[in-house]
Amino acid sequence: MTHDSAASQHSASNAILDDDAFTPSPDSALWRRDFLLGAATASYQIEGAATEDGRLPSIWDTFSATPGKVLAGDTGAVACDHYHRWSGDLDLLKDLNFEAYRFSIAWPRVMDASGRPNPKGIAFYKRLLERLKEQGIQTFATLYHWDLPQHLEDRGGWLNRDTAYRFADYADLMSRELTGLVDAWMTLNEPWCSAYLGYGNGHHAPGLSNPRYPTQAMHHLLLGHGLATQVLRANDAKSAKGIVANVGRGTPNSQTPADITAARRFEVQHNAWILDPLLKGEYPAELFELWPGTEPLVLDGDMETIAAPLDFLGINYYFRTNVKSDGAHGYTEVPLPGVERTQMGWEVYPDGLRDLLVGFHDAYDNLPPIYITENGMASDDSVQDGEVVDAQRIAFLKRHLAAVDAAIKKGVDVRGYFVWSLLDNFEWAFGYERRFGVVHVDYDTQKRTKKRSAELIARFIAERNARDGG
C-alpha cells in the first residue's frame, strides 16, 4: 500500500475510528471473561541476537543470508532486538491489557549440536515466562516456529525421520526446564508452511523445491508433534497441549463441477492434509489424487502417534483463495478483481474464517477446543505526528472478531483470539517491508509506537473487565 492509498483509506474509514470501534453486540461471546484476547510473536521474527549466548545458526539464518532469497537482503540478525528489549516489550503487552501471550522458543538458542542444554538460552525464556506470570498474562509457548537448527538440516532436516526424534528430545528438555511456567504448549506452528514452502516450492527455508518432498517432510513434522506431545504430557501434566495449523478457504471461480472439485482439493491440500492425520489418524486419499505418487513412507504405529488426543487446536487464518480447475488433477488461482487487499496482496475475507470453523466443527467429531492463534494484516504503516492510524487494520480485526463470534454462535468451541502480531517484525521472505504489528517498530532506533488499533483493543479489554468487576 502506498502512503497515498493509506491516506485515502484513512479518509474513507473515519467511521471505524469512533469510540466503540471494538464494541461487539451485547450477546457477543467476546464479552465473556473466559474468552482470551492475546497477541502473538515468533522467535526469529523478533529476537535478533543471532550469535549471542551460544545460539546456533538456524535454517533461516542460512536462508536469509543467501542472496535473492529475502526481499532487500534483510535478515533476522537484529530484527526487533527483543532478546535485549524483552522487558519493555512485556510491559507493552501489559499496558495494552492483553490477557495472553503466544511466543516461540528458538530451538537453536537452547541446545547445542550434541543435544546438551544451553543454560544462557534457557535462562532467557525462564525470565520471560516468570515476568509474564508476575503480570498475570497467560503463557502460550510454541516449540517450533520454523527455526530448525542448521546442523539438523545438514543431516536432511524434516526429510530425515531422525529429526522427529530430535524434536522430541528438544520438547523433553524444554518441558522439564519450564514446567509450571507454561499454560499451553504448541508443538508446531503451521507445518503446511514448513513442509510445502520449505521443501516443495522453496519460498521459505531451507529453500528446497521438489514435488516429492513436502508429503514426507509433513509426515516427519507430524510424527515429531506426536512424539513431543507424549513427553509434554509426561513432564508438564497441568499444561494444555496442542498444535497450530494455518488454514485456507478455497472458493470455486464458477459453479461448474470441475471448479467445485478444484476448490475442494484446495482445501484438502491446505487443511485436511494436516487435520485428517491429527483428528482421523489418516491422510486424505484425495491428496494423492492431487499429487499422485507422493505418498510418504509411514511406519507401523506412526499414525497412532500423530493422532494422540489434543487439548486444543490453534488456527491461523489470513485470506481466501478463489480457484478454478487446471484441467487435470488440481487447481489454478484466479484473483478476484475489485476486492479489498492487504499490503501482502491477500484478500480481506472474514467470512472465510467463519466458514472454515463451522466446516471443521461439522467434519470432525473429535474437534478439540480452538484458539485463533494468528489473525491480522500487513499495511504500510508510518508514524505521523507521533501516531500510527492504521484504519484498515482496525476494520480488519473488528470484522474477523465478528466472524469468530458468528462461528461460536453456530456451536464452534472457540476459546480465544491472538492478534498477529504484537510488533512489526521480520516477515520471512518479505523482510521488513510488510508490517503486521499493532505496535510500530522503527528498525533504525528500535522505538516502539502503539498504533491506533492497539489502543482500541486495550480500551475494549478494559471495558470488558470493568463490566465484570475488574
Positive or negative torsion for Cα 121, 127, 130, 131: negative
Q: Which three cell numbers stand for residue 211?
A: 514435488
Q: Is 145 annotated as a binding residue?
A: yes
Separation of alpha carbons 39 and 174, rounded Å: 22
Separation of alpha carbons 74 and 426, rounded Å: 8
- The alpha carbon of 199 is separated from its chain's Cα centroid by a whole number of angstroms, namely 19
* 374 carries an active-site annotation: yes
Q: Is 86 annotated as a binding residue?
A: no
Q: Single out the catalytic residue among 190, 267, 286, 347.
A: 190
Residues 6+ apart with CB under 8 A from 108: 55, 56, 57, 58, 147, 149, 150
Reduce the DSSP state of residue 191 to 3 states and report it: helix
Separation of alpha carbons 435 and 437, rounded Å: 6
| 377 closest CA partner among 336, 420, 335, 417 | 420
Q: Is 165 annotated as a binding residue?
A: no
Separation of alpha carbons 421 and 46, rounded Å: 10
- 37 close to 93: Cβ distance less than 8 angstroms: no
Q: Where are the beta strands (DSSP E) in 72-201?
A: 100-104, 138-144, 184-189
Q: Is 361 annotated as a binding residue?
A: no
Q: Is 271 annotated as a binding residue?
A: no
Q: Is 455 annotated as a binding residue?
A: no
Reduce the DSSP state of residue 360 to 3 states and report it: helix
Biggest CA-to-CA distance, the chain:
63
Alpha carbon dihedral 66, 67, 70, 74, in 10-degree steps, equals 90
Q: Is 364 annotated as a binding residue?
A: no
Q: Single out the catalytic residue among 153, 267, 286, 374.
A: 374
Burial class (CB in 10 A: 0-12, 13-18, 19+), 413: middle
Q: Which three cell numbers stand for residue 239?
A: 499444561
Q: Which three cell numbers stand for residue 128?
A: 520471560
| Active-site residue set | 190, 374
- Which parts are annotated binding residues? 45, 145, 189, 318, 420, 427-428
Q: Provide the annotated binding site for substrate.
A: 45, 145, 189, 318, 420, 427-428
